[in-house]
Amino acid sequence: MTTIALITFGCAKNLVDSEVMLGYLARAGYRFVSDPAAAEILILNTCGFIQPAKEEAEDAIRDAAARKAEDDRKKIIVTGCYSERYKEALQKKHPEVDAWVGVKDFDKIVQVVRNKDFAGSAQTFLYSHTSPRSVSTPDGWAYIKISEGCSHLCAFCAIPLIKGTYRSRDIRSIVREAETLAARGVKEINLISQDTTYYGRDRGNKEGLSQLLQGLIRVRGIEWIRLLYGYPEEISDALLEVMHDPKICPYLDIPFQHSDPALIRRMKRAMDGRRALDLLKKIRAKIPGLSIRTSLIVGFPGEQDQAFKGLIRFVKEARFDHLGVFTYSREEGTEAYSLGDPVPEAVKQKRKEKILEVQAEISAENLRTYIGQTIEVLVEGVLRKDSSLFLGRSRFQAPEVDGCIFIEAAESHGRLAGPLQKVEIVSSDVYDLHGRFAP
């Protein structure tokens, strides 16, 4: 039986695409191995969004090529955004790769592996509840991708160039997928897309996300529903109202990107720091205790010292629970490409470090407020490096990007009755909490 290793790079949306490819391959009878050295076929599902992602993809391709040089029976297949964006150039650069598949034909992966001809799709692949999928996340939680593409034209972003305009899945398909996941024991679903809050708008439904959530709330067995990647202008009163349901995690991921009005206009974004603070005030008033994550870009062309100092003030005033920072990556084909890349890389890195330093203090202060509380935690398993600790997350911590909760493993909890457990928080650090199972 042919063995395959599939390695995923980039975001959670890429992970779902990989899980669908694994589903098709498993249905066709292929066997999977985690060690690339043991695989006859190596599939790399790449990201090509920004420069560091492209460099990671290049490293992976070179590593795979080195393995093939040692054993020419091995086969290399490169899929995903990097392949989609630069396929022609990559074919010339890496002739040792056997097949290049972009983002349109993930469902044809079996034909690719078997060297079979197929009619390629004209648009980015978007799976449904009928697509086979081998979920690879811990048993208690999973991602659900609710759309593909993006119809925003942010000046710095290459996603629309790679994946095209926004396309929403049907509500019934998403609900059916949630029901299937619930039947497998999944308790938490994390809704992902390029812009979750745009869901349904391509179909003329401005409250599509609210209606989707109302459908998902009714799915038996699903206890936590989390929204990731929201666009600030699209957070409606109807959405905030439905988020009062106890199944919806009090959590929003809202990438603001920057606070300076001039830079925001240059980025082709719409919400500067003052409007963002007003929105945060409104959200927190409507949903007390809600946790907010954001992403920021430093080093965008035109970011002078004064604009950066304003961004620092914005972070201090906003007091985000979670925050990520990207240094600006100049991407060909985007509107901002013509602006050049005038901010030196060393300056970008210093600014990133400064933002993270400020956020670390805020995060540590926020987490200290949980000491002494007993909260519901989704337990993901025993920590690999220390079997005396369980690893889990709360409603205010998204998987893979936020902090986590380390839980002392008492003998009575050697076998948990289920992934959702009550945990008493006993201490905290900068990004993580520590606790013990409540009696």
Task: Say whether pLDDT at 387 is over 80.
Answer: no
Q: Which whole number is the average pLDDT over 79-93?
A: 96
- The strand pairing partners of 32, in sequence order, are 4
Q: Which whole number is the average pLDDT over 54-73?
A: 94
Domain with residue 179: its CATH number is 3.80.30.20
Closest-CA residue to 318 (of 285, 342, 294) = 294
Residues 218 and 333 in one domain: yes
Residues 278 and 184 in one domain: yes
Domain that holds residue 415: 374-437
Domain with residue 412: its CATH number is 2.40.50.140
Q: Would you state the pLDDT for residue 412? A: 52
Is 132 among the domain residues?
Answer: no
Residues 12 and 91 in one domain: yes
Residues 64 and 82 in one domain: yes
Q: In this structure, what token pair is assigned to residue 158?
A: 């290459």
Q: Would you state the pLDDT for residue 388? A: 80
Examine the fold and report which residue of 368, 387, 417 is the final residue of a domain before the chain moves on: 368
Examine the fold and report which residue of 368, 391, 421 is the final residue of a domain before the chain moves on: 368
**pLDDT digits over 123-156, tens only?**
999 999 999 999 999 999 999 999 999 999 999 9
- Grade residue 304 by pLDDT with cuts at 50, 70 and 90: very high
- Grade residue 411 by pLDDT with cuts at 50, 70 and 90: low
- How many Cβ atoms sit within 10 Å of the Cβ of residue 178? 25
Q: Would you state the pLDDT for residue 399? A: 97
Residues 97 and 218 in one domain: no
Residues 272 and 341 in one domain: yes
* Cα(327)–Cα(351) distance, integer angstroms: 9
Q: Would you state the pLDDT for residue 386? A: 67
What is the model's pTM? 0.95
- How far is residue 281 CA from its own chain's centroid? 25
* Cα(229)–Cα(197) distance, integer angstroms: 8
Q: What average pLDDT is seen over the chain?
A: 95
Q: Which whole number is the average pLDDT over 55-77?
A: 94
Is 305 among the domain residues?
Answer: yes
Residues 326 and 421 in one domain: no
Is 349 among the domain residues?
Answer: yes
Is 21 among the domain residues?
Answer: yes
Is 124 among the domain residues?
Answer: no
Q: Would you state the pLDDT for residue 174? A: 98
Residues 26 and 64 in one domain: yes
Give, in order, the Cα–Cα distances in Å from 87 to each of 2, 63, 157, 392. 26, 18, 19, 40
Is 146 among the domain residues?
Answer: yes
Residues 231 and 318 in one domain: yes
Task: Say whether pLDDT at 413 is over 80.
Answer: no
Q: Would you state the pLDDT for residue 409? A: 78
Mapped onto helix, strand or coil, the DSSP state of residue 30 is: coil
**pLDDT digits over 312-337, tens only?**
999 999 999 999 999 999 999 999 99
**pLDDT digits over 360-378, tens only?**
999 999 999 999 999 999 9
Task: Say whether pLDDT at 414 is over 90.
Answer: no
Please count the helices (runs of H) and the strands (runs of E) in the chain.
Answer: 12, 18
What percent of the chain stands above pLDDT 90? 93
Residues 222 and 300 in one domain: yes
* Cα(258)–Cα(300) distance, integer angstroms: 9
Q: In this structure, what token pair is assigned to residue 179?
A: 């029901």
Task: Say whether pLDDT at 383 is over 90.
Answer: no
* Cα(267)–Cα(295) distance, integer angstroms: 14
Task: Say whether pLDDT at 380 is over 60.
Answer: yes
Residues 286 and 423 in one domain: no
**pLDDT digits over 6-29, tens only?**
999 999 999 999 999 999 999 999
Is 131 among the domain residues?
Answer: no
- Grade residue 235 by pLDDT with cuts at 50, 70 and 90: very high
Answer for the pair 3, 25: CB distance below 8 angstroms, yes or no. Answer: no
Q: In this structure, what token pair is assigned to residue 262?
A: 């001039």
Report how many domains make up the chain: 3
Which comes out higher in pLDDT, residue 410 or 77?
A: 77
Q: Would you state the pLDDT for residue 321? A: 97
Residues 416 and 348 in one domain: no
Is 267 among the domain residues?
Answer: yes
Examine the fold and report which residue of 332, 347, 368 is the final residue of a domain before the chain moves on: 368
